Amino acid sequence: MQTDVISAELRNRFEHARRVLVLTGAGISAESGVPTFRGGGNSAVWKGMPFDVISSARMVERDLPAVWEWFDYRRSLLQSLHPNPAHYELARWADLFSEFTLVTQNVDGLHQAAGSRDVIELHGSVWRARCVSCRTSYEIVPDKQRLDDCHGCGAWLRPDVVLFGEMLPPGAFEVAAQRAAKCQLCFVVGTSALVYPAASLPEIAKAAGAYVCEVNPERTPLSTICDEVLTGKAGEVLPLTGKS
Ligand code: OAD
């Protein structure tokens, strides 16, 4: 990959932007070894159930232990994985702009592991459990037994992730949308842009006049509205932006 994949226009905008928003999806963690959702392979199926069945609100009601089993399994896989250069590059960007917003659809915690703070996690995190009654959330620490019940009210805990058929966490999208409407430069990294409302953030940014840039080895439904499409892997492309 040559550094000339980044246009002079993008370099200039990157140099001068003050408000930058980045939306990430599963693709940014692919180079860390985390399977994407729609990339094929076995990752989309758990014990014969497609991921949108086992990861559903209905399944929490029907069989919470099975849902926990799936998320415990996913955490056990994540435990041995590490952030890749794309995660580290975005962690660095927080210091380059006066207002930097990182919004992720990922639940893997790899942005935080790379040093990013204040990440807007639209779909929650596998590293948290949440009370089904009072919504108190509890961190899940690697190698430690997670809690089953809420300390406060005694109700069951469930994974603090957004499952199919559920709303996003209160306020998360609204904050992200406000930042998208104000940003000057927006990057969309490693997402198939099929899941809304997350995929509407670059559209909001574009409509408000931001320069929108996609980083993905494949085209997506958002590609046509992007000002620039950087075709390639996030871990190779993002570090090429070159501002220090
Ligand atoms: P997908 O699995 O739908 O899409 C992954 C995207 O990453 C695809 O467009 C790939 O081309 C791209 N990709 C693969 N390798 C890459 C790399 N090295 N660098 C950059 N891009 C790469 O994942 P998401 O778009 O994140 O929601 O999926 C969105 C939501 O769908 C998920 O958050 C999840 C799922 O339903 C919930 O669980 C609520």
The CATH class for the domain spanning 3-34+82-123+168-241 reads alpha beta
> What whole-number distance in Å separates Cα of residue 122 and Cα of residue 130?
15
For residues 234 and 83, the answer to whether their CB atoms sit within 8 Å is no
The predicted structure's pLDDT at residue 170? 87
Domain 35-80+127-161 has CATH 3.40.630.30: no
Cβ of 124 below 6 Å from ligand 1: no
Residue ranges in the chain modelled with pLDDT below 70: 1-4, 39-44, 242-244
The predicted structure's pLDDT at residue 244? 59
Global pTM value: 0.94
Cβ of 216 below 6 Å from ligand 1: yes
CATH topology of 3-34+82-123+168-241 equal to that of 35-80+127-161? Answer: no
Cβ of 38 below 6 Å from ligand 1: yes
> What whole-number distance in Å separates Cα of residue 190 and Cα of residue 24?
6
Q: Which amino acid is at 99?
A: E
3-state secondary structure of 130: strand
The vertex-49 CA angle with 72 and 70, nearest 5°, equals 5
The predicted structure's pLDDT at residue 2? 46
Q: Which atom of ligand 1 is nearest to the CA of 190?
A: 21
- 123 catalytic per annotation: yes
Cβ of 220 below 6 Å from ligand 1: yes
- Distance (Å) from CA 223 to ligand 1 centroid: 14
The predicted structure's pLDDT at residue 185? 98
Q: Are strands 137-139 and 124-131 parallel, antiparallel or unpaired?
A: antiparallel
Domain edges within the chain: 3-34+82-123+168-241, 35-80+127-161
- Distance (Å) from CA 216 to ligand 1 centroid: 10
The predicted structure's pLDDT at residue 43? 56
3-state secondary structure of 51: helix
